[in-house]
Structure 1
Amino acid sequence: MKPARIDDRALPPLFDIGPLWAILWGRRLLVFAITGAALLLALLYLAVTSPSYTATASILIDPRDARATNFNNVLPGIGADSAAIASQVFVIESQDLLGTVFDSQKLQNDPEFSSRGPISRLMSLFGGTSSQDAAFKRFQKAVSVEREGLTYVINVSFTSPSPEKAARLANAIVDRYKASLAGERETANDDVNSLLNDRIKGLQKDVSDAERAVEDFKSQHRIVDPTDGGTLQSQLDQLTTQLIAAQGDADKAKDRYNQALAAGTSAAGLAKLSEILSSNAAANLRDDYNQRATELANLETMYGPRHPAIGRLRSELDRINRLMAGEAMRIRQQLKANYDLAVQNAAKLQDKLEALRQQSQDSSLAQVQLRQLDSRAQAARTVLDDFLKRAQETSQLQGVQTSEARTISAAAPPLQPTWPKPALLLPVSVLLGLMAGCGLALTLGPVGRPQDDPSIQRRDAPQAVDPAKDGPQAKPRSLPVPADFGEYRLPGVAGGAALANIKAMRKSLFETGNETLSLAVLRLMRQILGRLSDHPKPFVLLVSSMQSSAEARLAGAMVGIGLQRAEQNVLVVEVGDLPHRAGYGSGLFIDGASGLRTVAAGGAAGQGQQSRDRNSLPSILAEAGNAFDFVLVVAPSLGEEGWDPELFAKADLTLFALNRSERASDAAGLIERHLGAGQVERSATLLIAQDSAQPGETRQDVPSKAGDWRRGAIART
């Protein structure tokens, strides 16, 4: 688990180039020697290697099929799909095509391909390949055919020590490939045309035999041509049509007769009869009747029913009714006669149709056989027509076949050799030599120095003396040295106090353009986190010094500001007699110089025992709980009065701030003498050096309110 949530993007990289550069610089002679050897090998290779030239010819496989006519080609085009185009690469590289070029160019005796080395001669003694096969293999290896991406362009390359020969052979391979495509189509046309002509002769005889069989069958069964109208089927069709028409006429006559029966003999019925069968007499009688009926109605209204004119009109109406009844009877009789005549006509046609159907049933077998013979003859004629048409097309396609491949870039003798390329080999050899030299140097590690030899005891290392054997014969033993966190040059104020220097350092850290100090502080944060073991927060860091507390306060402020910039919640605990804090009491305050939340540990003179216990470091840590990520304890130096060994026992890591006159070995001796040798492994040193500047602004601390500061601060956090 990560000890504290520090943004890795804000920290310096884990990989530090400084130690690696030190190793490489220490073994620079080895790196330069290996690089020079690689460069020398490249120069020797360039001196003994003969140049080779590569000529390239480009052809386009055009998927479009050029058509001079509407005839279909016997052999279709290559096609537009990617697999078909890619297959042409293997066709060009095929042994048959390259063998034809090899023979046509008479390369069997060419010294470039026929020369045999000692290995080839040795292999031939044990039954290896023949000299001609070996020459063809060398020729085949010099050919390179590649498709240009996913396009329809294919590049044919040939590599040779002679640029003219490379161009000539590349063009020869392309020409042979194009000729093979056109030759394939011509050969296919010839083969198909020959097969068609042979097959047409047999088809013509089959058609002649089938037509003769049809005519013989018609003559034998007295079946005439249907176009003459004398066939039985045509008579059946005509008679059926007539019967249908007669039955329709009979149905119409029957309907009209039924309508006449339903109409009756009244004036309204006579009007319907006149519509069914046109009759002038019926129309006149209906008009007379309507006129007399109108006059009768008028006279009855004027004179009454007993007037003589009314009797006369009634007699006229009776006479007209009798005439109308007679006319209706005549119309019905005429319609009945028409109906009977239509029925008789339909019956006669039905009898004739039955007779013809009987005759058709008798000759059905002959008709079936005739249709079979006719179908065979028609099929033979259709096949013959297709063969004749295709044979005519293929004969016309002779000599007009075009190739799908066309040259878009002929091979020309190259001006520059393909291999070797000094502009490429020399830089690559230098780069590989540098990489090999650097790798070997890093593998061997840093150059050994006498002071790094563990068998040689360092002069400045503190010597521990066993008390039991303390005397003239006692032999000193070497102690471990605390971890070195590096040197930090911090800005300061000439002649200023510690707080003024802290304020100047904070201002420099937050100013733009001072990235060097910021990166150094962030690198220090990573080193600190790397030395901490995982446990619940807070982590306790203790900052002290050897002689004077000035370096400890400055180093503590730098560590606290660095943790704060890494988004950590930091509480600074200052331990010891701090006169400059006397005005703030024992509560939590914001340090005006560092900007950190700070509390003073330890009771002032005159305070009671209860107050001093409450302000002790254990009490502060207990009340802070896990409200803070880090508790930074600034303790007195080991050389001053007032330091407490329990402070170091509670710390996860102890940092000793040194000045230029102090050494890490001296710190190790003091730690062992005051705290014990076990605390050395939990300690680290950092060198603090100040660059003095002009005096800056005076310090102004902002105190917090008196009272119970700790619980309020924890609640706000």
Structure 2
Amino acid sequence: MNVIAIRPRTDDQYTPSEEGGELGTFSLKWIFAFLVRRWILIAAVGLLVFILCFTSFLFQRSQYTATALVMINAGQDQVLAPDQMVGGQQMAPAQVVDSQLEVLRSRELAGRLVDALNLVNDPEWNVMLPPDQAPVAGPVVPPAAETPQEAATREQLRQNVIVAVANSISVNRRGLTYAAEVSATSTNPERAAQMANRLVDLFQQYQMEARLDSANRANSWLSTRVRELRDDVQEKEAIVERYRAQTGLLSAQGGLLSEQQTADLQGNLTQARADLAEREARLQQLQATISVGGSADAIAGVLNSSVISQLRAQEAQIARRQADYESRYGEAHPSVQNVRAERTDIRNQINAEIARISSGLRTEVEVARARVNALEANMDLMRGEMVGNNEQLVRLREYEREAAASRTVYESFLTRFHEIADQGTMRTMPAQLVSAATVPTEPSSPRLSIAFVLSIVLGAGLGLAAGFLAEALDEGFGDADEVERKLGVPALATVPKLRRTDLRQVPPASQHPVGYLLERQVSAFTESYRVLRTTIIFAAGQPKTQIVAITSAVPDEGKTTVSLCLSRVSALSGQRVLLIDCDLRRRSVKDVLGIEPTTGLLQVLAGEASWRQAIYADELSGMHVLPLSEAGFTPKDIFGAEDMSRLLAELRNSYDLIVLDCAPVLAVAETRVVVAKADCAVVVARWQKTPIRAVRSALQQLQSAGANVRGVALNCVDRRVPGYYTYPAYDFSES
């Protein structure tokens, strides 16, 4: 039974790289190396682009640009006031200016300019006309009779001219000001100035037409709206008056009659209550003064009576005369008696007056009280009547509010209607021409200095782009560092490429890398294999290496040449070396060495001959070769059988180094089996040719088969190509 020996994995085996890109890291060193590697491509593409661009600029027709300066009016025509609009929002002046600039750039104005200057009949703008035809002045006059198809064709031609003219016009605002530069470009300087100035005129006409049209439409709408609002106000005010008449809620002097009556009655009642309180207070004070026996003077002060005051003055005079008479005549004198009688009469008059006034006060209090009671009764009656009218009054107030709101809206729209009517009659210019365009004396394009710089920049950019594209499409390895960075395995050696000039230095029979190694043993090529041998055999941390499998990811990588050169270098160093050809399909070893074996590896494994009978000795180097004979292909798994393992075990005792020349990993299945039986494996990759993904896939497959991949040998490295080989080469010429 055939058994495939799988070597257990170790911690230092190959780990696939996580790097996804093929361009590597962008460092200054990498950029410099990239420029050195691709400078020929970059220079060629850049020079070609520069020549094409600059030549195209040189053969361009001269273009002239004329510029007019316009001051934009930032005011707005509004049908409604800001407080009448929803949210009260309006455009800022800067937005108004930007909107006017967009009008200047519009196809509408470009179309008017085309029609005004008859640019349809100008060969500069109409590509359908012959270049030598003279422009036709005057406006466009369509033919009297034309078919719909001809009309459509003519309109399509006009639209094409409008697009061309619109592309030749530029409108730019000067900073944050309201000034704008209107520029027109043409091959004719007079035509450029004419186009710029005429465009400004057309813009002013367009804005005036738009303003008048807007005012007319606004007046028409406002007049209709004012009539509707007037009718609405009249209707709602009529509803209010009819409801007043129906409910009896009459009004006088701006208020309801019942409310005015209630207010008057309330005022009269308040006044009556005040009069009653005053009279009651005077009566109570009089009664209190009389009850405590107050003097006539005190009573007179309470009553505030002039009659009592006069009587008290007469009584005082009589009292003085009485005292005078009594002192002169005595009490029994008749004069004294008369005076006493007069004084008594005066006192009686005072008491009578007090009684009369007191009675009058009582009467006044009763009358005032009766008046207050009557007013209160009337007030209660009016309140009852108003309570009954509350619901009707609420409805009346609602009707009045609706009528007042409608009148407010009506008056506002009526005012705006008159303002819009006045605004439509004003001839204010929406834009003012500050500076008219003059005929340019120098072309605006092409400018050779700018064209030269632009061609250089474009050439350099496309050259670098071509270089980066070539670098991205280059799937091969550039140097040993790239091998280690992208694969995660060491680069064991970099084998230089042998040019034809190198091979011509040796005899014709040796003009092959294997023969060159023997003829030029002191050379960079031979030394690279000594480095490969050293890194394989004397690798630190690795067990003794006796069997080495040489393979590649894909065919034509030079693995057979590497196997032969490695074997010869090892044999020349004094080792006993055996090279076994394990590529059952190509069998290249015998062809390179020029031998025709009749017995080979297949016969040894089949037991038809011993390995000693199939060995061929290389007299030039001393190595031994176990080739493959010309016998046909066998479908048997000869490498997975125990015979191969026993053969290798037996050969270990006879040779110091055994090199297995294996088939490519991705092309042949049994390669993984052979490599797994070796102490280590070396994958050969061709410089700048072998795809990185192929080598990565081959390493993964070898790892899954249990192979101990020692590293990658980079073959056919051209160290004279700049930008790839970054280490200084050793000079072997003196040796």
TM-score (norm 2): 0.42
TM-score (norm 1): 0.43
